[in-house]
Structure 1
Amino acid sequence: MAAEAEIVSQRIDKWLWAARFFKTRPLAVEAINGGHVHINKERVKPSRNVRPGDEIRITKGFETWVITVKGLNEQRRPASEARLLYEESEHHREQRAAVIEERRLHGVNIRVKKPGKHERRLIDQIKRSW
């Protein structure tokens, strides 16, 4: 058998899945087709190959990652190993953290949950008292 050849390029949808930016490849394809993924400042298709050294901009919800590809992996590995596939600059990491903090301060990310049984009864009592 031939020796295992090192990967020099990989499809962007498969790389995003392996690097754990998306839970499934179809979700990665949907984001790419929606224009939320750019390689070297160009909009791409899911079949576009990514190579080490490429800059990728990923927009997911209100968060944006600007990362540099450091490695390729055919399989989805644990998160600790997936973090080795890319590098995010300190400037972009701080920018993303600032956006998250600003949204938190303005109450945008507060999760609203349905009232429980006890809370519903209290709400009903207040309504009846009016």
Structure 2
Amino acid sequence: MRIDKYLWCIRYYKTRSLATEAIKKGHVSVNGQTAKASREVFPMDKIVLRKDQINYQIKVLDIPLNRLGAKLVDMYRKDETPEEAFAHLELLKLSKDHYRAHGTGRPTKKERRDIDDYTNDFDTDEDGTE
């Protein structure tokens, strides 16, 4: 089975054309080599794909005949992605929440109070004195 079709079948991409685009951009490698969309995938191949700033590591267990339901995907692949990758994504999400873009103007009164509370937490000692 072609790798773009395989990634679509096991639901890593919503459409086959999205899978093909990711492969053309070099986000997918098979057994350590950058893949083309027409590359055949066989059982026991190791696929590394970069999606949403996470490097997913997949081991092909079997080849599906067509697109699968979400509950059946684990029969055809083994996800070997380390947990640290998902923890890193959570840190990125948290940092984006507290980022203030340049040129957005002055902070509102509520934002100013939040900033003051945040900085005051670091100014006080453990017993509550400065």
State the partner residue of 1:115: none
TM-score by length of 1: 0.70
> Structure 2 counterpart of 1:94, which letter?
E
State the partner residue of 1:94: 83
Other structure's SS at 2:82 match:
helix
Q: How far is the alpha carbon of 1:97 from its aligned partner?
A: 1.6
Q: Which of 99, 103, 106 is the aligned partner of 2:95?
A: 106
Q: How far is the alpha carbon of 1:77 from its aligned partner?
A: 1.4
- Runs (4+) of structure 1 exceeding 6 A deviation are none
Is 1:81 aligned to 2:72, yes or no? yes
CA contact (8 A) 1:32 1:46 kept: yes
CA contact (8 A) 1:14 1:74 kept: no
Q: How far is the alpha carbon of 1:105 from its aligned partner?
A: 2.9
Q: Report the identity percentage.
A: 35
Q: Which of 24, 35, 42 is the aligned partner of 2:15?
A: 24
> Structure 2 counterpart of 1:98, which letter?
A
Pairwise CA RMSD: 2.1
Is 1:35 aligned to 2:26, yes or no? yes
CA distance in 1, matches of 2:97, 2:11: 25
CA distance in 2, matches of 1:46, 1:12: 6
CA distance in 1, matches of 2:53, 2:65: 28
CA distance in 1, matches of 2:13, 2:97: 23
Q: Give the paired residue count.
A: 100
TM-score by length of 2: 0.70
CA distance in 1, matches of 2:52, 2:86: 14
CA distance in 2, matches of 1:95, 1:70: 24
Instruction: Judge which range, 98-107 or 68-77, deviates more.
Output: 98-107
Q: How far is the alpha carbon of 1:56 from its aligned partner?
A: 0.3
